[in-house]
């Protein structure tokens, strides 16, 4: 994607909890052994010995049952231990921050504090309303029988919620009693900007903690996220009666970075609404100079909104969708690829690093440093590192390197083989995204977004942005009609190649017919998003086995049918920029979203490297 102003990207809060057995499945060979499929065959016997055989079989059955229970218990204990370790690590870090004296603090209950962060408090009451909903189905999830339910309005947790018409309140009046009283809820919102200095303190690189206390309860959203996990107490959710909420809202922050806070006030006890009102006792920011950097959270749920425009989306996105936050604190995330048996590789092009995320134990490690550039002038680049990643038919990692301006393959022995770096004697711009066809032909996009000055960079040698195909050692230019060719993917039958355009003036997905020799023809606009709301153009594209497209577009992750109909949009807390199909069944979509990594389970498996030929043959 095109380099963005990353000072606008906040580091989300850290909540540490995870689901249990579902996160720690037994390997298939262990499941088989538990089921007894590896046991020796029973001996053949005469009718006289039939009762002995039946007794032996019963004993074996009981043994298998006991083993099954033991393995399940072991898996649960393992999961619980991992949860305990994760929670203990998080708790110790949070406790450490709670006990240590911050290097600086800002009182958001004072005018000078709010002025220092260039913010203003905005306030709104809420209303309880009746809404249309559905009764639970046989699976316990929302079914098809209509009913009436209750909700409240407005829902103001999202970072991009428009609060411009709300009341602006004096920060010295935060403790003024507000709401109508009794059964009441309200919102306080403020966008803070990390200042250049706080007195003599430089906040760059700090970890920021937000602390507040509402009478009586509060829930806190940070940049559109309100993380929660089973057993969580405090942080973004209620901890107790009139108890302080403390949570990390930024790690390794930069001056000028903005963070949107939304505090939801609750009058309590809810079961017997009191004869009083809601007010905020205090609100402050603490700046701690402690080590910061990318971390893997214990997978926990955050909010997701699904805009359903066509009934066909119900077969794709579950009725009660869940999105899980996996890791945070990156500079920017891009180019994910799932690698069997169970890990994800993805790029941070700004940090010049490829990371590895192991799904089974939620562990994050550095896979490759200097992933896209090792030049001495690396400081001049906004995104010198790798961008798109994929696997070739032999399972070797193929890397689009921005700073090196080439496509390279990582061999099994660790060596890099350059696949493409020039076209007709001129250096490529900065290869962005890529996809293999099942016959091994590589297709990739080449905009200049990895160059320090983009289109105006003096290093740029090609007079255009291209889409290329590399087959049998020959690099072929397919088209130059797009200013910012970006995401790229094949239809399941490999007859069509989809290419997204990162261009604010022409936000389109193009579709090209591709022949056996890798030539493109009959390029057509498959879908035009130019007039859609949202600042982002088109970034990553992925396709499922039914031919539906998943497109990073304005406002979220667009789902398009094979015929080009907009079925709906998945809106995550952070804007999705690229995706990869993962998990054992290929139905989990991993999403790189600004500085964060998410995953969302869906209903239809996607097309992953190595599966193209099988999927194409089935159609």
C-alpha span between 401 and 373 (Å, rounded): 7
Q: What is the pLDDT of residue 336?
A: 98
Name the more confident of 66 and 492: 492
Highest mean pLDDT among 37-41, 225-229, 528-532: 528-532
Contact 530, 507 (CB under 8 A): yes
Instruction: Count Cβ atoms below 10 Å from residue 378 Cβ, excluding itself.
Output: 14
Domain boundaries, the chain: 103-288, 304-618
Q: What is the pLDDT of residue 83?
A: 41
On the question of a cis peptide bond just before residue 579, with omega within 30 degrees of 0, the verdict is no
Q: What is the DSSP string of 93-138?
A: HHHHHHHSPPSEEEETTSHHHHHHTT--EEEEE-EEEEEEEEEE-T
Distances (CA, A) of 30 to 35, 250, 562: 9, 42, 40
List strand residue ranges (DSSP E) for 216-310, in order: 217-222, 245-250, 258-266, 279-288, 295-302, 305-308
C-alpha span between 444 and 408 (Å, rounded): 12
pLDDT tens digits, residue range 560-571?
Answer: 999 999 999 999
Q: What is the DSSP string of 24-69?
A: SPPPHHHHHHHHTTTSPPPPP--GGGHHHHHHHHHHHHHHHHHHHH
List of residues 6+ apart from 494 with CB closer than 8 A: 437, 438, 514, 612, 616
Cα angle: 302, vertex 166, 281; to 5 degrees: 70
Distances (CA, A) of 258 to 191, 194, 255, 402, 487: 7, 6, 9, 27, 28
Instruction: Count Cβ atoms below 10 Å from residue 154 Cβ, excluding itself.
Output: 14
Contact 208, 284 (CB under 8 A): no
Residue-averaged pLDDT of the chain:
87
Tell the residue number behind the tokens 């007859």, with chain if given: 495
Sorting pLDDT into bands at 50, 70 and 90, what band is 54? very low
The answer to whether residue 84 scores a pLDDT higher than 90 is: no
Pick the CATH number of 304-618 from 3.40.50.720, 3.60.20.10, 3.40.50.2300, 2.120.10.30: 2.120.10.30
The Cβ-side half-sphere exposure at 197, using a 13 Å CA radius, reads 3
Q: What is the CATH number of domain 103-288?
A: 2.60.120.260
Angle between helices 28-35 and 50-99 (to 10 degrees): 140
The Cβ-side half-sphere exposure at 49, using a 13 Å CA radius, reads 8
Sorting pLDDT into bands at 50, 70 and 90, what band is 197? very high
C-alpha span between 199 and 561 (Å, rounded): 55
Q: What is the pLDDT of residue 619?
A: 63
Sorting pLDDT into bands at 50, 70 and 90, what band is 456? very high
- 3-class DSSP state of 323: strand
pLDDT tens digits, residue range 481-526?
Answer: 999 999 999 999 999 999 999 999 999 999 999 999 999 999 999 9
Written as six digits, the tokens of 415 are 């060596």
Written as six digits, the tokens of 440 are 């091994």
Sorting pLDDT into bands at 50, 70 and 90, what band is 226? very high
Q: Name the phi and psi angles at 501, rounded to 5.
A: -115, 115
Sorting pLDDT into bands at 50, 70 and 90, what band is 291? confident
Q: What is the pLDDT of residue 281?
A: 98
List of residues 6+ apart from 112 with CB closer than 8 A: none
Query: What Rg do the C-alpha atoms of the chain give, in angstroms?
Result: 27
Q: What is the pLDDT of residue 320?
A: 95
pTM for the predicted model, two decimal places: 0.83
């Amino acid at each position: 994607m095109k380099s963005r102003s990353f000072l606008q990207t906040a580091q989300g809060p850290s909540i540490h909890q995870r689901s249990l057995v579902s996160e720690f499945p037994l390997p298939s060979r262990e499941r088989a052994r538990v089921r007894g499929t590896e046991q020796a065959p029973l001996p053949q016997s005469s009718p006289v010995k039939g009762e002995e055989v039946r007794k032996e079989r019963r004993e074996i059955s009981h043994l298998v049952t006991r083993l099954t229970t033991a393995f399940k218990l072991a898996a649960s204990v393992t999961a619980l231990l991992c949860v305990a370790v994760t929670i203990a690590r998080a708790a110790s870090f949070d406790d450490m921050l709670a006990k240590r004296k911050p290097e600086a603090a800002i009182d958001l209950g004072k005018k000078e504090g709010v002025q220092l962060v260039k913010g203003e408090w905005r306030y709104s009451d809420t209303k309880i309303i009746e809404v249309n909903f559905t009764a639970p189905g046989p699976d316990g999830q929302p079914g098809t029988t209509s009913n009436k339910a209750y909700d409240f309005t407005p829902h103001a947790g999202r970072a991009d919620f428009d609060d411009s018409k709300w009341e602006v309140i004096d920060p010295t009046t935060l403790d003024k009693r507000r709401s109508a009283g009794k059964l009441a809820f309200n919102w306080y919102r403020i966008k803070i900007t990390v200042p250049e200095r706080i007195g003599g303190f430089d906040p760059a690189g700090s970890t920021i903690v937000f602390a507040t206390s509402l009478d009586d309860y509060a829930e806190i959203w940070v940049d559109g996220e309100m993380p929660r996990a089973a057993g969580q107490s405090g942080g973004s959710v209620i901890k107790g009666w009139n108890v302080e909420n403390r949570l990390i809202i930024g790690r390794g922050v930069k001056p000028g970075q903005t963070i949107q806070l939304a505090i939801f006030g609750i009058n309590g006890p809810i079961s017997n609404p009191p004869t009083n009102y809601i007010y905020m006792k205090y609100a402050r920011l603490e700046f701690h100079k402690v080590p910061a950097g990318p971390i893997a959270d214990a997978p926990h749920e955050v909010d997701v909104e699904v805009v359903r425009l066509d009934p066909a989306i119900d077969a794709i996105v579950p009725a009660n969708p869940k999105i899980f936050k996996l890791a945070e604190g990156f500079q920017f995330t891009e180019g994910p690829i799932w690698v069997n048996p169970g890990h994800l590789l993805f790029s941070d092009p700004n940090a010049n690093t490829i990371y590895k995320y192991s799904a089974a134990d939620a562990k994050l490690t550095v896979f490759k440093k200097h992933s896209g550039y090792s030049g001495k002038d690396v400081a001049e680049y906004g995104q010198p590192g790798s961008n798109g990643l994929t696997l070739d038919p032999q399972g070797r990692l193929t890397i689009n390197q921005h700073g090196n301006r080439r496509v390279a393959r990582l061999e099994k022995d660790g060596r890099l083989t350059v696949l493409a770096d020039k076209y007709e004697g001129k250096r490529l711009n900065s290869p962005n995204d890529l996809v293999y066809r099942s016959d091994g032909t590589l297709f990739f996009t080449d905009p200049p977004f990895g160059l320090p000055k983009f289109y105006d960079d003096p290093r740029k040698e090609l007079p255009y942005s291209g889409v290329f195909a590399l087959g049998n050692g020959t690099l072929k230019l397919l088209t130059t009609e797009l200013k910012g060719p970006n995401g790229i993917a094949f239809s399941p039958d490999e007859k069509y190649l989809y290419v997204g355009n990162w261009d604010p003036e022409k936000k389109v997905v193009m579709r090209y017919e591709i022949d056996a020799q890798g030539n493109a023809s009959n390029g057509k606009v498959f879908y035009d998003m130019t007039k859609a709301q949202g600042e982002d153009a088109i970034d990553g594209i992925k396709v499922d086995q039914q031919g539906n497209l998943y497109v990073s577009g304005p406002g979220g992750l667009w789902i398009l049918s094979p015929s080009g109909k907009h079925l709906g949009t998945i809106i995550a807390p952070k804007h999705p920029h690229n995706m990869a199909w993962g998990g054992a069944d290929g139905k989990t979509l991993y999403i790189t979203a600004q500085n964060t990594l998410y995953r969302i389970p869906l209903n239809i498996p996607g097309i992953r490297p190595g599966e193209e030929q099988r999927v194409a043959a089935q159609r």
